[in-house]
Amino acid sequence: MAGMSITRAALEQLDREDPLAPFRDRFSLPDGVIYLDGNSLGALPRATPARVAAAVSREWGEGLIRSWNDAGWMDLPARVGGKIGRLIGAPPDSVMVADSTSVNLFKALAAGLALRPQRRVILSERRNFPTDLYIAEGLATLLGQGHTLRLVEAEEIAGALDDSVAVVMLTHVNYHTGAMHDMTAVTAAAHRAGAVMLWDLAHSAGAVPVDLAAADADLAVGCGYKFLNGGPGAPAFLYAAPRLHAAVRFPLTGWLGHAAPFAFEPSYRPAAGIAGAAVGTPPVLSLTALEIGVDIALEAPMAAVREKSLRQTTIFAELVAQECAGHGLNLVTPTDPTRRGSQISLAHTEAWPIMRALIARGVIGDFRAPDILRFGITPLYVTHTELWDAVQTLREVLATKAYTAPEYQAKLKVT
């Protein structure tokens, strides 16, 4: 479409030709809403309410404690972990579902630092997601061994590597800009410097092709409630490369990471492999919901998901340029499609009230401080025509300055 303007009719045609179009019906989306925030909280799969209801009434209500065995509750973390593993190029028995992403970062980072006991630097990106950096700070303080956090810009990572770096901890797709690291190249650079590579896949799993084994990553964590559609607060996951399983030790030594939890031994013995990453009793209802989302993601061929994601992010950015020029928006997501995930971020000085006005009109994205309008593109349920309609709404909000209305100014607790 280079040089030609995009029309709604052309986008309708793309929807008719879209091989992923049938997936939209697998999700329950409210009328009158264009949902461009699946990178923050994925939509509800239609199958989830009945499945969770059955887990509550049949497995819990009738099966009671017997369901730990009879309904396979105790197998859920490894089973769902194995399914997520297939989405991210992880070999069998190398992914565990547990805890939140933040807690898994703590566990993985501590394990990574312990693999490099002579080194004291955690290298990360200044604009990494804050929880990742906060966890690293807190862990360094707790260890009390002089670990420091070295923060650089994304493009300075390779140059900041030296023989003091114990762990390189990066988020594959940046939450703020949507920029994506070259996982293979960065991992190789970290390894050349002798460092352990820890990836956060919060904005990658289910959204972009990931092959942890091919990239030779050491450790990874990720999120269940974003592109995996596991529901609010869905448990997260943790990966350790099989070649590390003999050596890796996770710091939270709860009973479910014990080699024999029901032997009730007085002293901790770690379970072999990734099972040692478990800590306490798994959140069965949340895992049940997460499995539905992961199963849908496994049905969708990742090559088709990526192709549609890139087409849609490109169209969205081009439409914004075509329809909203002169209104102070700046594209901050890389224009090179190989360098971005599945979102478009636009900077604007009035980003907060603009997003409030968009949401009031049924176009749901989100705001990221200080000035980012963030639009997540989830190819399984976003249509091409919705992109047109969303950008028309954005144009209207900007052209009429509707965002200056007082009701859009107040800050909310969650943005």
Ligand X SMILES: *Cc1c(COP(=O)(O)O)cnc(C)c1O
Q: Which residues belong to the active site?
A: 129, 200, 225-226, 374
- Return the residues of window 122-141 that contact ligand X according to CB under 6 A: 129, 131-132
Which stretches of 265-344 are DSSP H helices? 284-299, 302-323
Q: With contacts defined by CB under 6 A, name the span among 195-203, 265-273, 298-306, 358-366 that binds ligand X.
A: 195-203
Residue 230: CB minimum distance to ligand X, A: 11
Minimum distance, C-beta of residue 40 to ligand X, in the bound complex (Å)? 7
> Is 171 near ligand X (CB under 6 A)?
yes
Binding of ligand X by 203 (CB under 6 A): yes
3-state secondary structure of 17: helix
386's enclosing H/E stretch is helix 384-399
CB of 202 to ligand X, least distance (A): 3
H or E element in which residue 353 lies: helix 351-360
Q: Which is nearer to ligand X, 293 or 353 (CB)?
A: 293
DSSP 43-110: PEETTHHHHHHHIIIIIIIITGGGHHHHT-GGGHHHHHHHHHHHHTTPPTT-EEEES-HHHHHHHHHH
CB of 234 to ligand X, least distance (A): 9
Question: Given the complex with ligand X, which of 14 and 236 has the nearer CB atom?
Answer: 236
Question: For residues 131 and 253, which CB has a smaller minimum distance to ligand X in the complex?
Answer: 131
Residue 390 host element (H or E): helix 384-399
Q: Residue 119: which region, alpha, beta or left (left: phi > 0; alpha: psi -120 to 50)?
A: beta
Give one word for 92, left, alpha or beta, with left for phi > 0 and alpha for psi -120 to 50. beta
Tokens for 192, please give them.
Answer: 């050349």
The CB-of-37 to ligand X minimum distance in angstroms stands at 12
Nearest-approach distance from CB 131 to ligand X, in angstroms: 5
Q: Nearest approach, Cβ of 374 to ligand X (angstroms)?
A: 11
Judged by CB under 6 A, the chain residues 234 through 253 that form the site for ligand X are 236
**By three-state DSSP, how is residue 370 classified?**
coil
Is 164 one of the binding residues for ligand X (CB under 6 A)? no
118 neighbors 151 (Cβ within 8 angstroms): no
* Distance from C-alpha of 188 to C-alpha of 193, rounded to nearest angstrom: 9
Binding-site member from 59, 125, 200, 318 for ligand X (CB under 6 A): 200
For ligand X, the binding residues in 363-392 under the rule CB under 6 A are none
Contact region for ligand X (CB under 6 A) — 48-56, 96-104, 246-254, 264-272? 96-104
Total of residues contacting ligand X (CB under 6 A) = 13
Helix, strand, coil proportions of the chain in percent (round to 5)? 45, 15, 40
**100 is an interface residue for ligand X by CB under 6 A:** yes
Give Cα separations from 370 to 120, 132, 350 (angstroms).
32, 18, 10
**Nearer to ligand X among residue 85 and residue 230 (C-beta):** 230
If the CB atoms of residues 131 and 392 are measured against ligand X, the closer one turns out to be 131
In the region spanning residues 173 to 192, those forming contacts with ligand X, defined by CB under 6 A, are 175
Where along the sequence are the contacts to ligand X (CB under 6 A)? 100-102, 129, 131-132, 171, 175, 200, 202-203, 223, 236
